[in-house]
A and B are shown apart, each in its own frame.
Chain A
């Protein structure tokens, strides 16, 4: 396969280099070439007229279910779904079976990922078994390839353990990713509020997130370490993060497309594809999330791609598993924010490519000459119906099924190799 291309007449949006121009981008031997370099003969052309040419998108929060639950997803199927959604890299959470809490599991994931369509960056566990008791061996996991640590899905209850995790992770330059929920307030199944009351479902108050986000900020302030708040869902968390950043705390944050697209009203009809953790919140929370994406309080958009089969989802709402798939819908849902003038094109690329790379310490998210050619071509106009038979992921648990979405990745290139292509 050729690793050299001339991507012609696209709109190149490269915030890391302050570039937004119409032009050609040359890829030679899998790397971005200097724009002044003459095009060697025989390099195939890709017509990018009307398309955006951006650094490959990176999803810093996915669940790939391998090892252990391959009937929901595996590393290769997840990577295919990601490539079709425009992602060239993704960070996979450790809550597999077994949990990625040691170098052996990390190495297994890295080995499997060598055959995957896109780059896979494992996240290691904070504690052994994600049980919140004993620290995992960050150093060895780092050597095996983890880019961050997290007990995602099972927030660390013990504040002392979390403090030590932040300190120890900083020795290895690993960010600590916090799923911020106070467990004793989180036994409900949806956002606490009028909709939960109407449906007779037990609520999870916004305060469950507030309390834990504040704890993480306080610990980051105490230790000087870097903490990253996963899937921010509430206005109050946004306010705390904004204030903390204002006084120089090393805190970063992500949200997921469902939190800026849907509200708890989506649960009406007991739709288990609207059940996730943290839950869909109120309209006021959704507005605060949008504002935070625009003003930089929230740094990144991540999908929290959480595949589940019908075994976990075609059941009573109380019994259904939390989580939805998101790799194939994140880009169009974020493009809707651009159309609604919440964010501009440059900010979209920052949220989906530049900042995830920065937070995870990856040399990605840039089209600088010499960089590895991880590139996404986006057609912002192209519409498609996201129907169940078109889902690339092994699972179909999405609240956006049968939505008409606008804007799509038409070509995904990883190291100069085309991994997804709708443009021809």
Chain B
């Protein structure tokens, strides 16, 4: 089982808060939990009697399911609240929702919200540990951690690697968590995408902005693509997904520029034929389903670690 080392974080709001040692500790803990999901009886009593609330203000299938599976395998009681079933549609503020949930004494609140910074705001009103399951274009720390775990399984190390992140960097919380996570572990992150999807000053987060797809992918150990949306709130970002696929997708030909043993990742859900052609998404270098498997282990580790600090 996991080591008994102290974990200094009550809330998990972003990769930004973690030191290299924290990340190694979380990944080691996740590694020790991974085996539970392969047993015939997939349940341990670790969090029995603990209450976990999934507070999802944004549609999510896999992240919410992953957290729920993780919590249930730890024997926690889980409850799901989503915008359509919550009173936020009646104009209740996040603060009011938070105070009401807090009055029921949950131990952990997992929040997904379209506004960056909402999880931090939530911490002001609740006693429970808050875990950010994705806020706006800010952070998605559990995704960043499961990506690190997946790369570590395939590369044994997280230092000295070249990680290419391709696609919509501007609107991606996954990109921010991964730039922070990989650079903190000693790897170099290269980003590339259409200029409409590259935010100002991304280099100041520690990433190197590339001038071409070839430059980003060449000799990469990891090629990560991000989900594309053609238009957001009347902001014309791309002429068409068809053109994106022709100009920016990771084709087999582009992938051949990477190291022969490079792995291909995507946080999902994949627009097949847009970010990745099917033969790459489902090809031998793809580790997309490993990411999903590791997501459960990482989230079990996070639930366990934040409860250890309560």
Contact = CB atoms under 8 A, between A and B. Distances in A.
B139 A200 contact: yes
Given A270-B120, A316-B115, A316-B118, A197 B136 contact: no
Contacts of B121: 270, 315-316
A197 B116 contact: no
Contacts of B204: 194, 197-198
B137 A200 contact: yes
Nearest to B14: A200
A317 interface: yes
B94 interface: yes
A199 B200 contact: no
A106 B155 CA distance: 72
A314 interface: yes
B117 A316 contact: yes
Contact of A196 (B93, B139, B199): B199
A202 B135 CA distance: 13
Given A197-B204, A200-B137, A200-B173, A318 B116 contact: yes
Nearest to B199: A197
A380 interface: no
Contacts of A316: 94, 113, 115, 117-118, 121
Contacts of B138: 199-201
Nearest to A197: B199
B284 interface: no
A199 B93 CA distance: 22
A285 B121 CA distance: 29
Interface in A307-333: 311, 314-319
Contacts of A317: 115-117
Contacts of A199: 116-117, 138
A197 B115 contact: no
B95 A315 contact: yes
A196 B135 contact: no
A198 B93 CA distance: 25
Contacts of A187: 233, 235
Contacts of A197: 199-202, 204-205
Among A187, A193, A202, A311, max chain B CB count under 10 A is at A202
Contacts of B115: 316-319
B184 interface: no
A377 to B, nearest CB: 41
B176 interface: yes
Contacts of B116: 199-201, 270, 317-318
Interface residues of B, number: 26
Contacts of A314: 93, 95
Contacts of B199: 196-197, 203
Nearest to B232: A202
A354 to B, nearest CB: 39
A192 interface: yes
Interface string B166-205: 0000000100100000000000000000000001111011
Contacts of A318: 114-116, 136
A269 interface: yes
Interface in B127-162: 135-139
Interface in B69-123: 93-95, 113-118, 120-121
B191 to A, nearest CB: 11
A317 B117 CA distance: 7
Contact of A198 (B120, B136, B205, B235): B205
B16 to A, nearest CB: 8
B200 A203 contact: yes
A200 B136 CA distance: 7
A315 B94 contact: yes
A12 to B, nearest CB: 49
Nearest to A317: B117
Nearest to A318: B115
Nearest to A201: B116
Contacts of B113: 316
Among A187, A192, A315, max chain B CB count under 10 A is at A315
A351 B301 CA distance: 59
A316 B97 CA distance: 13
Contacts of A203: 199-200
Nearest to B120: A270
A366 B94 CA distance: 50
A312 to B, nearest CB: 11
B90 to A, nearest CB: 15
A269 B120 contact: yes
A194 B94 CA distance: 27
Contacts of B137: 200-202
A270 B200 contact: no
Interface in A42-83: none
A270 B122 CA distance: 12
Contacts of A311: 93
Nearest to B137: A200
Nearest to B202: A197
Nearest to B116: A200
Among B117, B135, B139, max chain A CB count under 10 A is at B117
Interface in A290-322: 311, 314-319
Nearest to A194: B201
Contacts of A319: 115
Q: Nearest 9 CB-CB pairs, A to B?
A: A194-B201, A200-B138, A270-B117, A200-B137, A316-B115, A200-B116, A197-B199, A194-B204, A318-B115
15 contacts: A187-B233, A193-B200, A196-B199, A197-B204, A198-B204, A200-B135, A200-B137, A200-B138, A200-B139, A201-B137, A202-B137, A203-B200, A316-B117, A317-B115, A318-B114
Interface of A: 187, 192-203, 269-270, 311, 314-319
Interface of B: 93-95, 113-118, 120-121, 135-139, 173, 176, 199-202, 204-205, 233, 235
Given A200-B137, A270-B116, A317-B117, 5 more contacts: A196-B200, A197-B199, A197-B205, A199-B117, A200-B139
